[in-house]
């Protein structure tokens, strides 16, 4: 039973439509897939509208989102939420404010790139964000590739777009503690995404993650491609010590960016406990 609890569609910065993602999930042999687009629920909601009440053979879809957070010191943190009520006002408002502010934020990043002599426009980004509800740096990365400024998405991040780059601009973001509270108020389960992925920028210390656990954090993503063996071992130990869910997932954004569904997975007994705890909405199949 393969369970992947962190994936993106083209309603945020993934490359597959929700429908294509589910076809890929079937192909990968997944039994359970969470759709966790950045700051939006539109991807899984579109599939929910097509749900099959009688199906018992389809892939189980877990409603979720990845909330873009920032600490008071300015560090970027991603918080996964599962099985929350999407109509819960605090969480819906939080995601809406973030989505709105991503547009002026993108314009500021483009202004900084233009100032450094790089020829790129907001229209170029829009051409690559297509149907997305959240505009993000990966869309800008694709636009930079199309302009021939860099060769790949990863190269765009390495040269221009990483969190510590002079071209980095943040957007409105709740604190991780606020996101945990909003997810839990909405009946959901909160899991810290790629918490020790140092290649993306600064990360929490283990003590700080323990403090999130005291604020109600329910789990930590342990098995993630951006975690080395040491990071995984530390997070697993922390999860054991504090009774947190230890998950694993692909953080899939598309095949052409080198990601593979089920490249990391969550243990069935961990998934069963998350499912039991999530009270804000239900899983479904299409
Ligand atoms: P944004 O939400 O616009 O701040 O962009 C965040 C997204 O960019 C993440 O979810 C990843 O998909 C991607 N990303 C962040 N850092 C890197 C990196 N160093 N290399 C490649 N992709 C990255
Ligand atoms: Zn992403
Ligand atoms: Fe993330
Ligand atoms: Fe993600």
Distance CA 191, CA 116 (A): 38
pLDDT at 7 over 80: yes
Which residues neighbour ligand 2 (ion) by CB within 5 Å? 13
Indicate the residue among 140, 161, 182 that finishes a domain: 161
Does 167 fall in a domain?
A: no
Q: How far is the CA of 78 from the centre of ligand 3 (A)?
A: 5
Taken as a whole, the chain contains a residue count of 286
Residues 44 and 114 occupy one common structural domain: no
Q: For residue 178, what is the domain's CATH number? A: 3.20.20.140
Does 190 fall in a domain?
A: yes
Q: How far is the CA of 276 from the centre of ligand 1 (A)?
A: 31
Residues 181 and 79 occupy one common structural domain: yes
Cβ-proximal residues to 209 (8 Å cutoff; 6+ apart), any chain = 192, 195, 217, 220, 235, 238
Which range, of 51-55, 148-152, 261-265, averages the lowest pLDDT?
51-55
- Alpha helices, DSSP H, located in the chain: 18-27, 42-48, 89-115, 122-129, 137-146, 153-156, 176-185, 206-214, 229-242, 268-277
Does 131 fall in a domain?
A: yes
Distance of CA 204 to the CA centre of its chain: 17
Q: Quick one: pLDDT at residue 201?
A: 87
Q: Quick one: pLDDT at residue 57?
A: 57
Contact 286, 58 (CB under 8 A): yes
Distances (CA, A) of 55 to 50, 64, 89, 272: 12, 21, 31, 20
Residues 7 and 62 occupy one common structural domain: yes
Indicate the residue among 161, 180, 210 that finishes a domain: 161
Residues 49 and 180 occupy one common structural domain: yes
Residues 145 and 12 occupy one common structural domain: no
Which residue segment(s) compose the domain that 128 sits in?
102-161
Q: Quick one: pLDDT at residue 55?
A: 62
Does 58 fall in a domain?
A: yes
Does 192 fall in a domain?
A: yes
Q: How confident is the model at residue 96 (pLDDT cuts 50, 70, 90)?
A: very high
Ligand 1: residue of 107, 157, 195 to mutate (most ligand atoms within 8 A of CB) is: 157
Beta carbon of 154 within 6 Å of any ligand 1 atom: yes
Residues 6 and 94 occupy one common structural domain: yes
Q: Quick one: pLDDT at residue 54?
A: 67
Residues 72 and 198 occupy one common structural domain: yes
Which residues make beta-bridge pairs with 106? none
Residues 37 and 87 occupy one common structural domain: yes
Residues 88 and 57 occupy one common structural domain: yes
**Number of domains the chain contains:** 2
pLDDT at 56 over 60: no
pLDDT at 267 over 60: yes
Q: How confident is the model at residue 149 (pLDDT cuts 50, 70, 90)?
A: very high
Does 213 fall in a domain?
A: yes
Does 261 fall in a domain?
A: yes
Q: How far is the CA of 247 from the centre of ligand 4 (A)?
A: 14
Indicate the residue among 141, 161, 181 that finishes a domain: 161
Q: For residue 129, what is the domain's CATH number? A: 1.10.150.650
Residues 17 and 138 occupy one common structural domain: no
pLDDT above 90 as % of the chain = 94
Task: Write out the two tokens for 47.
Answer: 């599939």
What's the mean per-residue pLDDT of the chain? 96
Residues 47 and 186 occupy one common structural domain: yes
Does 244 fall in a domain?
A: yes
Contact 11, 25 (CB under 8 A): no
Task: Write out the two tokens for 279.
Answer: 């009270």
Q: Quick one: pLDDT at residue 25?
A: 97
Beta carbon of 70 within 6 Å of any ligand 1 atom: no
Residue range 211-251, pLDDT digits in tens: 999 999 999 999 999 999 999 999 999 999 999 999 999 99
Contact 189, 277 (CB under 8 A): yes
Residues 107 and 230 occupy one common structural domain: no
Distance of CA 200 to the CA centre of its chain: 14
Beta carbon of 136 within 6 Å of any ligand 1 atom: yes
Closest residue by CA, ligand 1 atom 2: 136
């Amino acid at each position: 039973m393969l369970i992947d609890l962190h994936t993106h569609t083209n309603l945020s910065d993934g490359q597959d439509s929700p429908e294509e993602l589910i076809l890929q999930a079937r192909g990968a042999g997944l039994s359970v897939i969470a759709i966790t687009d950045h700051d939006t629920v539109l991807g899984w909601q579109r599939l929910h509208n097509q749900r099959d009440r009688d199906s018992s053979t389809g892939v189980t879809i877990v409603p979720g989102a990845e909330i873009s957070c920032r600490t008071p010191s300015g560090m970027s943190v991603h918080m996964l939420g599962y099985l929350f009520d999407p109509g819960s006002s605090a969480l819906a408002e939080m995601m809406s404010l973030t989505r709105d502010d991503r547009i002026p934020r993108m314009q500021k990043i483009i202004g900084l790139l233009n100032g450094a002599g790089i020829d790129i426009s907001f229209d170029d980004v829009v051409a690559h964000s297509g149907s997305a509800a959240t505009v993000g740096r990966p869309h800008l990365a694709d636009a930079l590739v199309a302009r021939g400024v860099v060769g790949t998405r990863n190269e765009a991040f390495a040269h221009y777009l990483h969190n510590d780059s002079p071209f980095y601009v943040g957007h409105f973001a709740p604190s991780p503690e606020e996101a945990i509270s909003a997810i839990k108020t909405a009946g959901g389960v909160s899991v810290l995404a790629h918490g020790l992925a140092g290649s993306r920028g600064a990360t929490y210390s283990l003590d700080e993650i323990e403090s999130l656990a005291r604020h109600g954090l329910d789990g930590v993503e342990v098995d993630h491609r951006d975690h080395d063996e040491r990071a995984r071992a530390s997070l697993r130990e922390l999860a054991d010590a504090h009774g947190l869910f230890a998950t694993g997932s692909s953080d899939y954004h598309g095949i052409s960016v080198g990601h593979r569904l089920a490249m990391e997975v969550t243990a069935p007994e961990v998934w069963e406990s998350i499912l039991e705890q999530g009270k804000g909405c239900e899983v479904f199949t299409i």
